[in-house]
Structure 1
Amino acid sequence: MNSTPDLPGVSAYRIGDAAARSGVTAANIRYYEKEGLIEPPSRGDNSYRFYGDGDVHRLRFIRLCRAMDMSLDEVRTLLALDLRSKADCDAACVALDAHLGHVRERLRELRSLEKDLIALRDCCDGTDAQCHIIETLHARADRQPATQPQRGRAARHV
Protein backbone atom coordinates (compact mmCIF):
# COMPACT_ATOMS: atom_id res chain seq x y z
CA MET A 1 0.00 0.00 0.00
CA ASN A 2 1.34 3.39 -0.97
CA SER A 3 -0.03 6.58 0.52
CA THR A 4 -0.15 9.66 -1.62
CA PRO A 5 2.50 12.11 -0.52
CA ASP A 6 -0.04 14.88 0.10
CA LEU A 7 -2.65 12.70 1.87
CA PRO A 8 -0.84 10.81 4.63
CA GLY A 9 -2.77 7.94 6.16
CA VAL A 10 -5.26 7.67 3.27
CA SER A 11 -5.20 4.33 1.45
CA ALA A 12 -3.94 4.88 -2.05
CA TYR A 13 -2.57 2.33 -4.46
CA ARG A 14 -0.46 2.73 -7.54
CA ILE A 15 -1.92 1.11 -10.65
CA GLY A 16 -0.03 -2.17 -10.18
CA ASP A 17 -1.28 -2.46 -6.60
CA ALA A 18 -4.84 -1.59 -7.64
CA ALA A 19 -4.59 -4.21 -10.39
CA ALA A 20 -3.40 -6.86 -7.93
CA ARG A 21 -6.11 -5.97 -5.39
CA SER A 22 -8.93 -5.86 -7.95
CA GLY A 23 -7.94 -8.66 -10.33
CA VAL A 24 -8.15 -6.21 -13.25
CA THR A 25 -5.04 -5.69 -15.38
CA ALA A 26 -3.37 -2.29 -15.43
CA ALA A 27 -4.15 -2.04 -19.15
CA ASN A 28 -7.84 -2.65 -18.46
CA ILE A 29 -7.82 -0.11 -15.64
CA ARG A 30 -6.53 2.51 -18.07
CA TYR A 31 -9.15 1.43 -20.62
CA TYR A 32 -11.96 1.67 -18.05
CA GLU A 33 -10.76 5.18 -17.20
CA LYS A 34 -10.84 6.10 -20.89
CA GLU A 35 -14.36 4.64 -21.19
CA GLY A 36 -15.55 6.59 -18.14
CA LEU A 37 -16.29 3.53 -16.00
CA ILE A 38 -13.94 4.79 -13.31
CA GLU A 39 -12.96 8.35 -12.53
CA PRO A 40 -9.48 9.45 -13.50
CA PRO A 41 -7.40 8.91 -10.38
CA SER A 42 -5.52 11.51 -8.44
CA ARG A 43 -1.84 11.79 -9.25
CA GLY A 44 1.09 12.26 -6.97
CA ASP A 45 3.91 14.73 -7.50
CA ASN A 46 5.68 11.98 -9.44
CA SER A 47 2.65 11.66 -11.83
CA TYR A 48 1.82 8.16 -10.59
CA ARG A 49 -1.87 7.36 -10.57
CA PHE A 50 -3.25 6.67 -7.10
CA TYR A 51 -6.43 4.64 -6.54
CA GLY A 52 -8.41 4.39 -3.33
CA ASP A 53 -10.33 1.51 -1.78
CA GLY A 54 -13.51 2.74 -3.51
CA ASP A 55 -11.78 2.54 -6.88
CA VAL A 56 -10.61 -0.99 -6.14
CA HIS A 57 -14.17 -1.98 -5.20
CA ARG A 58 -15.52 -0.41 -8.40
CA LEU A 59 -12.91 -2.32 -10.44
CA ARG A 60 -13.97 -5.57 -8.75
CA PHE A 61 -17.61 -4.75 -9.55
CA ILE A 62 -16.70 -4.16 -13.20
CA ARG A 63 -14.67 -7.39 -13.32
CA LEU A 64 -17.61 -9.34 -11.86
CA CYS A 65 -20.03 -7.91 -14.41
CA ARG A 66 -17.62 -8.57 -17.28
CA ALA A 67 -17.18 -12.15 -16.04
CA MET A 68 -20.96 -12.45 -16.46
CA ASP A 69 -20.39 -11.36 -20.08
CA MET A 70 -22.00 -7.95 -19.69
CA SER A 71 -21.15 -5.30 -22.23
CA LEU A 72 -19.49 -2.08 -21.11
CA ASP A 73 -22.80 -0.27 -21.67
CA GLU A 74 -24.58 -2.75 -19.39
CA VAL A 75 -21.86 -2.30 -16.75
CA ARG A 76 -22.13 1.48 -17.11
CA THR A 77 -25.89 1.25 -16.57
CA LEU A 78 -25.49 -0.80 -13.40
CA LEU A 79 -22.74 1.44 -12.04
CA ALA A 80 -25.02 4.45 -12.41
CA LEU A 81 -27.71 2.90 -10.22
CA ASP A 82 -28.14 3.53 -6.50
CA LEU A 83 -28.62 0.39 -4.46
CA ARG A 84 -31.00 2.18 -2.08
CA SER A 85 -33.46 3.38 -4.72
CA LYS A 86 -36.54 1.34 -5.59
CA ALA A 87 -36.62 2.85 -9.08
CA ASP A 88 -32.99 1.90 -9.57
CA CYS A 89 -33.80 -1.63 -8.40
CA ASP A 90 -36.40 -1.82 -11.15
CA ALA A 91 -33.86 -0.48 -13.65
CA ALA A 92 -31.35 -3.12 -12.54
CA CYS A 93 -33.97 -5.83 -13.13
CA VAL A 94 -34.69 -4.46 -16.60
CA ALA A 95 -30.95 -4.39 -17.40
CA LEU A 96 -30.48 -7.96 -16.19
CA ASP A 97 -33.54 -9.17 -18.10
CA ALA A 98 -32.13 -7.62 -21.27
CA HIS A 99 -28.78 -9.27 -20.62
CA LEU A 100 -30.49 -12.61 -20.08
CA GLY A 101 -32.09 -12.17 -23.50
CA HIS A 102 -28.65 -11.63 -25.03
CA VAL A 103 -27.26 -14.68 -23.24
CA ARG A 104 -30.18 -16.85 -24.38
CA GLU A 105 -29.71 -15.70 -27.98
CA ARG A 106 -26.00 -16.48 -27.75
CA LEU A 107 -26.80 -19.93 -26.36
CA ARG A 108 -29.05 -20.58 -29.38
CA GLU A 109 -26.20 -19.46 -31.66
CA LEU A 110 -23.73 -21.71 -29.84
CA ARG A 111 -26.06 -24.73 -30.04
CA SER A 112 -26.40 -24.17 -33.78
CA LEU A 113 -22.63 -23.81 -34.08
CA GLU A 114 -22.15 -27.04 -32.12
CA LYS A 115 -24.44 -28.93 -34.52
CA ASP A 116 -22.60 -27.46 -37.49
CA LEU A 117 -19.20 -28.44 -36.06
CA ILE A 118 -20.40 -31.97 -35.28
CA ALA A 119 -21.67 -32.34 -38.84
CA LEU A 120 -18.36 -31.00 -40.14
CA ARG A 121 -16.41 -33.40 -37.93
CA ASP A 122 -18.55 -36.28 -39.18
CA CYS A 123 -17.39 -35.53 -42.75
CA CYS A 124 -14.09 -37.23 -42.13
CA ASP A 125 -12.91 -40.28 -40.22
CA GLY A 126 -9.27 -39.88 -41.31
CA THR A 127 -9.19 -43.02 -43.47
CA ASP A 128 -9.51 -41.44 -46.93
CA ALA A 129 -6.65 -40.09 -49.02
CA GLN A 130 -7.77 -36.51 -48.41
CA CYS A 131 -9.33 -34.71 -45.48
CA HIS A 132 -13.02 -34.13 -46.08
CA ILE A 133 -13.18 -31.55 -43.30
CA ILE A 134 -10.72 -29.30 -45.13
CA GLU A 135 -12.45 -30.08 -48.43
CA THR A 136 -15.84 -29.12 -46.95
CA LEU A 137 -14.45 -25.89 -45.49
CA HIS A 138 -12.96 -24.94 -48.87
CA ALA A 139 -16.30 -25.69 -50.58
CA ARG A 140 -18.13 -23.51 -48.04
CA ALA A 141 -15.62 -20.72 -48.53
CA ASP A 142 -16.25 -20.85 -52.30
CA ARG A 143 -20.00 -20.50 -51.69
CA GLN A 144 -19.61 -17.46 -49.42
CA PRO A 145 -20.94 -14.30 -51.05
CA ALA A 146 -18.56 -11.41 -51.45
CA THR A 147 -19.48 -8.76 -48.89
CA GLN A 148 -18.20 -5.35 -47.99
CA PRO A 149 -16.19 -5.16 -44.78
CA GLN A 150 -18.40 -4.21 -41.87
CA ARG A 151 -17.83 -0.82 -40.33
CA GLY A 152 -18.51 -0.02 -36.73
CA ARG A 153 -19.51 -2.44 -34.06
CA ALA A 154 -20.71 -5.95 -34.69
CA ALA A 155 -24.44 -6.56 -34.40
CA ARG A 156 -23.80 -9.25 -31.82
CA HIS A 157 -23.89 -8.55 -28.13
CA VAL A 158 -20.79 -10.49 -27.24
Structure 2
Amino acid sequence: MPVAKPPGAQGYRIGEAAARSGVTAANIRYYEREALIAPQARGDNSYRLYTDADVHRLRFIRLCRAMDMSLDEVRTLLGLDLRRKADCDTACVALDAHLGHVRERLRELRSLEKDLIALRDCCDGTDAHCHIIETLHARADRQPLAGAPRTRAARHV
Protein backbone atom coordinates (compact mmCIF):
# COMPACT_ATOMS: atom_id res chain seq x y z
CA MET A 1 0.00 0.00 0.00
CA PRO A 2 1.57 3.34 -0.97
CA VAL A 3 2.44 5.72 1.82
CA ALA A 4 1.05 9.23 1.34
CA LYS A 5 3.52 12.11 1.54
CA PRO A 6 2.51 15.10 3.63
CA PRO A 7 2.53 18.42 1.79
CA GLY A 8 5.96 20.03 1.74
CA ALA A 9 7.78 16.81 2.65
CA GLN A 10 11.21 16.61 1.04
CA GLY A 11 11.78 12.89 1.20
CA TYR A 12 10.75 9.58 2.67
CA ARG A 13 11.88 8.39 6.06
CA ILE A 14 13.32 4.89 6.15
CA GLY A 15 10.00 3.22 7.03
CA GLU A 16 8.28 4.96 4.15
CA ALA A 17 11.10 4.08 1.76
CA ALA A 18 10.86 0.48 2.95
CA ALA A 19 7.10 0.40 2.34
CA ARG A 20 7.47 1.94 -1.12
CA SER A 21 10.37 -0.27 -2.21
CA GLY A 22 9.53 -3.61 -0.61
CA VAL A 23 12.98 -3.63 1.04
CA THR A 24 13.09 -3.87 4.83
CA ALA A 25 14.52 -0.99 6.82
CA ALA A 26 17.26 -3.32 8.08
CA ASN A 27 18.23 -4.17 4.49
CA ILE A 28 18.19 -0.49 3.53
CA ARG A 29 20.69 0.20 6.32
CA TYR A 30 22.77 -2.77 5.16
CA TYR A 31 22.77 -1.52 1.57
CA GLU A 32 23.90 1.87 2.86
CA ARG A 33 26.83 0.23 4.69
CA GLU A 34 27.66 -1.61 1.46
CA ALA A 35 27.53 1.71 -0.44
CA LEU A 36 24.75 0.55 -2.77
CA ILE A 37 22.57 3.46 -1.71
CA ALA A 38 23.12 6.74 0.11
CA PRO A 39 20.23 8.93 1.25
CA GLN A 40 20.52 12.38 -0.25
CA ALA A 41 19.48 14.40 2.78
CA ARG A 42 18.59 14.46 6.44
CA GLY A 43 15.55 16.09 7.93
CA ASP A 44 15.57 18.65 10.75
CA ASN A 45 15.33 15.74 13.18
CA SER A 46 18.43 14.06 11.59
CA TYR A 47 16.37 11.26 10.06
CA ARG A 48 17.66 10.02 6.73
CA LEU A 49 15.47 11.10 3.85
CA TYR A 50 15.08 9.07 0.66
CA THR A 51 14.00 10.37 -2.74
CA ASP A 52 11.89 8.68 -5.39
CA ALA A 53 15.19 7.88 -7.16
CA ASP A 54 16.43 6.16 -3.97
CA VAL A 55 13.22 4.12 -3.79
CA HIS A 56 13.67 3.13 -7.44
CA ARG A 57 17.28 2.11 -6.71
CA LEU A 58 16.08 -0.02 -3.77
CA ARG A 59 13.53 -1.73 -6.02
CA PHE A 60 16.29 -2.37 -8.58
CA ILE A 61 18.49 -3.92 -5.86
CA ARG A 62 15.59 -6.02 -4.59
CA LEU A 63 14.88 -7.30 -8.11
CA CYS A 64 18.54 -8.24 -8.67
CA ARG A 65 18.78 -9.94 -5.28
CA ALA A 66 15.60 -11.89 -6.06
CA MET A 67 17.51 -13.23 -9.09
CA ASP A 68 20.20 -14.39 -6.62
CA MET A 69 22.76 -11.84 -7.76
CA SER A 70 25.64 -11.08 -5.42
CA LEU A 71 26.11 -7.58 -4.07
CA ASP A 72 29.11 -7.14 -6.35
CA GLU A 73 27.00 -8.09 -9.37
CA VAL A 74 24.31 -5.63 -8.26
CA ARG A 75 26.97 -2.95 -7.73
CA THR A 76 28.25 -3.52 -11.27
CA LEU A 77 24.78 -3.19 -12.79
CA LEU A 78 23.97 -0.10 -10.71
CA GLY A 79 27.07 1.59 -12.08
CA LEU A 80 26.02 1.22 -15.69
CA ASP A 81 24.36 3.86 -17.85
CA LEU A 82 21.28 2.99 -19.91
CA ARG A 83 22.46 5.08 -22.84
CA ARG A 84 26.01 3.79 -23.41
CA LYS A 85 26.58 0.83 -25.75
CA ALA A 86 29.71 -0.18 -23.83
CA ASP A 87 27.63 -0.44 -20.67
CA CYS A 88 25.22 -2.77 -22.48
CA ASP A 89 28.17 -5.03 -23.26
CA THR A 90 29.25 -4.89 -19.60
CA ALA A 91 25.73 -5.79 -18.49
CA CYS A 92 25.72 -8.78 -20.86
CA VAL A 93 29.07 -9.98 -19.50
CA ALA A 94 27.81 -9.60 -15.91
CA LEU A 95 24.62 -11.53 -16.70
CA ASP A 96 26.53 -14.26 -18.53
CA ALA A 97 28.79 -14.67 -15.50
CA HIS A 98 25.77 -14.84 -13.19
CA LEU A 99 24.13 -17.37 -15.48
CA GLY A 100 27.28 -19.48 -15.12
CA HIS A 101 26.94 -19.33 -11.32
CA VAL A 102 23.28 -20.32 -11.57
CA ARG A 103 24.06 -23.26 -13.86
CA GLU A 104 26.77 -24.47 -11.47
CA ARG A 105 24.33 -24.23 -8.55
CA LEU A 106 21.76 -26.20 -10.58
CA ARG A 107 24.37 -28.95 -11.13
CA GLU A 108 25.05 -28.96 -7.38
CA LEU A 109 21.33 -29.15 -6.61
CA ARG A 110 20.80 -32.00 -9.09
CA SER A 111 23.65 -33.90 -7.45
CA LEU A 112 22.14 -33.23 -4.03
CA GLU A 113 18.76 -34.43 -5.27
CA LYS A 114 20.28 -37.72 -6.49
CA ASP A 115 22.06 -38.15 -3.16
CA LEU A 116 18.86 -37.52 -1.20
CA ILE A 117 16.88 -39.93 -3.39
CA ALA A 118 19.55 -42.61 -2.87
CA LEU A 119 19.44 -41.95 0.87
CA ARG A 120 15.63 -42.16 0.89
CA ASP A 121 15.82 -45.45 -1.04
CA CYS A 122 17.92 -46.95 1.78
CA CYS A 123 14.85 -47.58 3.86
CA ASP A 124 11.28 -48.59 3.17
CA GLY A 125 10.30 -48.63 6.86
CA THR A 126 9.82 -52.39 7.09
CA ASP A 127 13.06 -53.34 8.90
CA ALA A 128 13.61 -53.29 12.65
CA HIS A 129 15.81 -50.21 12.35
CA CYS A 130 16.02 -47.22 10.04
CA HIS A 131 18.63 -47.54 7.30
CA ILE A 132 18.44 -43.82 6.57
CA ILE A 133 19.65 -42.96 10.08
CA GLU A 134 22.18 -45.80 9.90
CA THR A 135 23.55 -44.46 6.60
CA LEU A 136 23.72 -40.90 7.94
CA HIS A 137 25.68 -42.13 10.99
CA ALA A 138 28.07 -44.05 8.73
CA ARG A 139 28.60 -40.95 6.59
CA ALA A 140 29.19 -38.84 9.69
CA ASP A 141 31.89 -41.32 10.79
CA ARG A 142 33.61 -40.90 7.40
CA GLN A 143 33.70 -37.09 7.69
CA PRO A 144 37.18 -35.58 8.05
CA LEU A 145 38.29 -34.64 11.53
CA ALA A 146 37.93 -31.04 12.69
CA GLY A 147 40.74 -28.88 11.40
CA ALA A 148 41.38 -31.10 8.38
CA PRO A 149 41.03 -29.36 5.02
CA ARG A 150 37.71 -30.05 3.40
CA THR A 151 36.19 -29.31 0.08
CA ARG A 152 33.05 -27.28 -0.04
CA ALA A 153 30.77 -26.20 -2.84
CA ALA A 154 31.58 -22.66 -3.86
CA ARG A 155 28.78 -20.12 -3.55
CA HIS A 156 29.05 -16.80 -5.27
CA VAL A 157 26.45 -15.01 -3.19
TM beyond 0.5:
yes
TM-aligned CA deviation for residue 132 of structure 1 = 1.2
Give the equivalent residue in structure 2 for 1:62.
61
**Whole-angstrom distance in 2 between the partners of 1:157 and 1:19:** 26
Structure 1 runs of 4+ aligned residues shifted over 6 Å read none
Deviations 1:85-122 (A, max 9, x none): 00000000000000000000000000000000000011
CA 1:155–1:108: 2 relative to 1, 3 Å: closer
Q: Distance in 2 between matches of 1:142 and 1:32?
A: 42
Task: Confirm or deny that 1:130 pairs with 2:119.
Answer: no
The aligned amino acid for 2:103 is: R
- Structure 2 equivalent of residue 148 of structure 1: 147
Alpha-carbon shift at residue 3 of structure 1 (Å): 6.0
Aligned to 1:13: 12
The Cα offsets for residues 1-52 of structure 1, whole Å up to 9 and x where unpaired, read as 4469xxx354x11111111110101000000000000014422121212111
Say which SS state the counterpart of residue 156 (structure 1) adopts.
coil
The CA distance in 2 between the partners of 1:9 and 1:16, in whole Å, is 14
Secondary structure in structure 1 of the residue aligned to 2:68: coil
1:108 and 1:88 mapped to 2: Cα distance? 30
Query: Is 1:18–1:56's contact at 8 Å kept on the other side of the alignment?
Result: yes
User: How big is each residue's C-alpha offset from its partner over 1:104-147, in whole Å with a ceiling of 9 and x where there is no partner?
Assistant: 00000000000000000111112222211111111101101124
Matched, 1:97 2:117: no
Q: Find the aligned partners of 2:95 and 2:146 in 1 and give their Cα distance.
A: 34
Counterpart in the other structure of 1:44: 43
Change (3 A) 1:28 1:9: closer
% identical aligned pairs: 83
- Quickly say closer, same or farther: Cα 1:149–1:22, change in 2 above 3 A: farther
Size of the aligned set, in residue pairs, is 151
TM-score where L is the length of structure 2? 0.89
